[in-house]
Amino acid sequence: MSSRDSILATVKKNQPEAKPLPVIENFIPFAGDNISKFREVLTAIGGDAVDANSIEDVVKHLQTNFPMQSVSLLYRIYFTAMRCTITQPANRINWKM
């Protein structure tokens, strides 16, 4: 018996009694401004939020702040961003690259 099979057999043998999935009714989505809340929490834990309106803004920020190591990183970020759809709330921007 491979280790995989023996693990699966043990898991199957040791199953607890099945219970129905709970329904979580009081899970209320956050009602405030997501971005300002995120910024507030990020700052509180020592992070820094930077506004960017385009991928060029991101690149520019990195070039200014991380000039020494940014060449390869920029290439990769640009490359990844070209493949992604980054969606933000309506009052911000909606990139589709």
Partner 1 sequence: MNTLKQQGIDVIDSDLGERIVQMADEPPSHIVLPCIHWKKEEIGELFHKHLGTPEGNADPQFLTNAARIHLREKFLTRRVALTGVNFAIAETGEFVVCTNEGNADMGAHLADVHIACMGIEKIIPKRKQLGVFLRLLARSATGQPVTTYSSHFRKPRKGTELHVVIVDNGRSRQLGRADFRNSLKCIRCAACFNTCPVYRRSGGHSYHTAIAGPIGSILAPNLDMKQYADLPFASTLCGSCSNVCPVKIDIHEQLYKWRQVLVQEGHAPTSKKVAMKGMTTVLSNPSVYRLSGAVGRWFIKNIPFVVNNKLNPWFKQREMPEAPKESFRDWYKKNKISKK
Left (φ > 0), alpha (ψ -120 to 50) or beta: where does 27 sit?
Answer: beta
In angstroms, the CA 44 to CA 39 distance is: 8
Positions that interact with partner 1 (CB under 8 A)? 3, 7, 10-11, 13-16, 21, 24, 27, 30, 37, 41-42, 45-47, 66, 68-69, 72-73, 76, 80, 83
What residues pair up with 94 in beta bridges, in sequence order?
A: 87
Give the nearest distance from C-beta 78 to partner 1 in angstroms: 12
Give the nearest distance from C-beta 20 to partner 1 in angstroms: 11
Give the nearest distance from C-beta 41 to partner 1 in angstroms: 5
Q: Which is nearer to partner 1, 27 or 51 (CB)?
A: 27
Give the nearest distance from C-beta 45 to partner 1 in angstroms: 6
Nearest alpha-carbon partner for 37 in 52, 49, 46, 25? 49
For residue 26, how many other CB atoms are within 10 A of its CB? 4
Q: Which is nearer to partner 1, 68 or 90 (CB)?
A: 68
